[in-house]
Amino acid sequence: MNVLLSDFGEGFLLATNFNAISSVTNLPSKNHTFSLGTLPLVFFSFLLLALAFGKVKLLVHKAVMFLFFWRQL
Protein backbone atom coordinates (compact mmCIF):
# COMPACT_ATOMS: atom_id res chain seq x y z
CA MET A 1 0.00 0.00 0.00
CA ASN A 2 1.37 3.40 -0.95
CA VAL A 3 0.64 6.81 0.51
CA LEU A 4 0.83 9.85 -1.73
CA LEU A 5 3.30 12.59 -0.87
CA SER A 6 0.52 15.17 -1.00
CA ASP A 7 -1.15 13.55 2.02
CA PHE A 8 1.66 14.86 4.22
CA GLY A 9 1.66 18.41 2.87
CA GLU A 10 4.29 20.17 0.85
CA GLY A 11 7.59 21.76 1.72
CA PHE A 12 11.31 21.75 1.13
CA LEU A 13 11.99 19.64 4.20
CA LEU A 14 9.54 16.97 3.11
CA ALA A 15 11.07 16.92 -0.36
CA THR A 16 14.56 16.47 1.03
CA ASN A 17 13.34 13.77 3.43
CA PHE A 18 11.69 11.95 0.54
CA ASN A 19 14.87 12.10 -1.53
CA ALA A 20 16.92 10.69 1.36
CA ILE A 21 14.40 7.92 2.03
CA SER A 22 14.00 7.00 -1.63
CA SER A 23 17.76 6.74 -2.07
CA VAL A 24 18.00 4.40 0.94
CA THR A 25 15.01 2.20 0.09
CA ASN A 26 15.39 2.38 -3.72
CA LEU A 27 11.88 3.71 -4.21
CA PRO A 28 11.10 5.10 -7.64
CA SER A 29 11.36 8.88 -7.49
CA LYS A 30 8.93 9.58 -10.34
CA ASN A 31 5.62 8.77 -8.63
CA HIS A 32 6.52 10.32 -5.23
CA THR A 33 5.05 7.61 -3.04
CA PHE A 34 6.09 6.25 0.33
CA SER A 35 5.88 2.57 1.01
CA LEU A 36 4.15 1.70 4.26
CA GLY A 37 7.46 0.56 5.76
CA THR A 38 8.95 4.07 5.62
CA LEU A 39 6.02 5.79 7.33
CA PRO A 40 7.35 5.25 10.90
CA LEU A 41 10.72 6.68 9.84
CA VAL A 42 9.06 9.80 8.44
CA PHE A 43 6.78 10.12 11.46
CA PHE A 44 9.61 9.89 13.99
CA SER A 45 11.85 12.26 12.03
CA PHE A 46 9.13 14.92 12.04
CA LEU A 47 8.38 14.20 15.71
CA LEU A 48 12.03 14.75 16.62
CA LEU A 49 12.11 17.96 14.59
CA ALA A 50 8.98 19.20 16.34
CA LEU A 51 10.45 18.41 19.75
CA ALA A 52 13.70 20.14 18.84
CA PHE A 53 11.96 23.27 17.57
CA GLY A 54 9.69 23.26 20.61
CA LYS A 55 12.66 23.22 22.95
CA VAL A 56 14.41 25.97 20.97
CA LYS A 57 11.26 28.07 21.11
CA LEU A 58 11.02 27.52 24.87
CA LEU A 59 14.67 28.48 25.39
CA VAL A 60 14.27 31.63 23.29
CA HIS A 61 11.14 32.55 25.24
CA LYS A 62 12.97 32.07 28.55
CA ALA A 63 15.90 34.18 27.35
CA VAL A 64 13.60 37.00 26.21
CA MET A 65 11.70 36.95 29.49
CA PHE A 66 14.96 36.95 31.46
CA LEU A 67 16.25 39.96 29.52
CA PHE A 68 12.92 41.74 29.95
CA PHE A 69 12.90 41.24 33.72
CA TRP A 70 16.63 42.06 33.93
CA ARG A 71 15.95 45.46 32.37
CA GLN A 72 13.15 46.11 34.87
CA LEU A 73 15.57 45.85 37.83
The secondary structure of residue 31, as a DSSP letter, is T
Instruction: Give the pLDDT confidence score for residue 66 in this predicted structure.
Output: 84
Residue 59: pLDDT band by 50, 70, 90 thresholds? confident
d(CA 26, CA 21): 8
Radius of gyration of the chain (CA): 19
Say yes or no to pLDDT of 4 above 80.
no
Instruction: Give the pLDDT confidence score for residue 33 in this predicted structure.
Output: 59
Closest CA to 38 of 24, 28, 49: 24
Say yes or no to pLDDT of 72 above 80.
no
d(CA 51, CA 65): 21
pLDDT in tens, 5-54: 444 444 444 444 445 554 555 555 555 555 666 667 777 777 788 778 87
